[in-house]
Amino acid sequence: MITFEPIDAPLGAVVTGVDPTAEPTAELVDALADGLLTHGVLVFRVGPIQPDQFVRLGRAFGELEILPEPDKRHPDHPEIFNLTNVKADDNIAEFDDPQSVFLRGTERWHTDSSFRQLPCLCTMLYAVEVPATGSTTEFADMVAAFEGLPPEQQAELSSLRLVHSYEYSRANNPGKLTPMDDAERAKFPPVSHPWVRHHADNRRSLYMGGHASHIEGRDIDAGRAAIAELTEQVTTDDVIYAHHWRQHDLVVWDNRTTLHRLRRYDIANQRRVMRRITVANNHPVT
C-alpha cells in the first residue's frame, strides 16, 4: 500500500509501497499526483531504475518535455536529461568547463521550464551516483512564502507579471557556456507569467526564480532588483526542505508551487551523476 510519510520539514514526504520500476497503474498516478499537491516534494528511496523504466514512469503522468541543451540528452531516450559532471572519457569536468558551469547554474533558486509558455508540472530526478557529502538540493514552498507576505505586498505582486527567458538565465550562468545554436534559441522566445499563480484548489503561490528576467512593463534593472530582493526575503528556513541525496533516490517535485536549488559542493572533484525527466503541463499559468 502506498503511504506518504511527511518529512520533518515544511514540505516533502517519503513515499513507500511503490515500485517505480513496475508498470504504473492509473491508481498509482492519481495517488502520486495527490501526494504531490499535498507535499510538494516526494522522495522515493528505491533501487536501480533503468532508463526505459524511468521514461515509462514519467509518461504515466503526461507528456515529457525535451529540454534545450541537446548535448545533455540521453542518447537512447531524449526525454532523459543527463545532469552529470562526469565527461564522456570518465574524468570529472573542470570547474570552468561548460559542463560544470551549466550545472552550477542550478545553484540559483529556480523553477524548471518557467521559460515556456506552458511550463512543466513536475520534475523527477534520479541519483545514479552522488558524492558522500554535499550536493544537497533545497526546495522552498512558494505557497507558504506567499501566505507569509503582508496583504499589501500580496496585492501588489498579484498585479504584476514577470518575463521569463531561457536565453536570459543561460547568459547569467556562472561562467562561459557553449553558445546555443540559432534553431534551439528560436524555440524558446521570452514569455510572461503572473508573479502570483492561482491553483485549482484556490491556493496561490509566488512564481519566479532564475529564468525570471524582469517585471513586464517596468524598468528592467529595477525589476531584476525587485525579483532578487523578494527571492531573498521569502526563501527562509521555515519554508525549506533540504534533500541530502543517497544513491538511487528518486525525488519528484512540483514546479508549480516550489523553487529549488543545488547547494554548492566540490564539483571539480566529486562525481555526481543524475538523470532527470520533466513532465509537461498543458494548463496555462493563471
Q: Does 260 bind ligand OGA (CB under 6 A)?
A: yes
Q: Does 235 bind ligand OGA (CB under 6 A)?
A: no
Query: Which residue lies nearer to Mn ion by CB, 24 or 207?
Result: 207
- Binding segment toward Mn ion, per CB under 5 A, in 16-24, 26-34, 104-112, 225-233: 104-112
Residue 274 binds which entry of Mn ion, ligand OGA, none, CB below 5-8 Å type-dependent: ligand OGA
Interface pattern 92-131 for ligand OGA (x via CB under 6 A):
--------------x-----x----------x-x------
> In the set 65, 79, 97, 112, which binds Mn ion (CB under 5 A)?
112
Residue 276 binds which entry of ligand OGA, Mn ion, none, CB below 5-8 Å type-dependent: ligand OGA
Q: Does 138 bind Mn ion (CB under 5 A)?
A: no
* Beta strands in 130-236, from DSSP E residues, in sequence order: 137-141, 161-164, 191-194, 196-198, 204-206, 212-215
Query: Which residue lies nearer to ligand OGA by CB, 197 or 243?
Result: 243
Assess contact for 82 and 275: CB atoms under 8 A.
yes
Burial of residue 98 (CB within 10 Å: 0-12, 13-18, 19+) is: middle
CA-derived radius of gyration, the chain:
18
Residue carrying the nine cell digits 502570483:
196
Report the chain's terminal Cα–Cα distance, integer Å: 35
The neighbour count for residue 117, using CB atoms within 10 Å, is: 12
Residues that bind Mn ion (CB under 5 A): 112
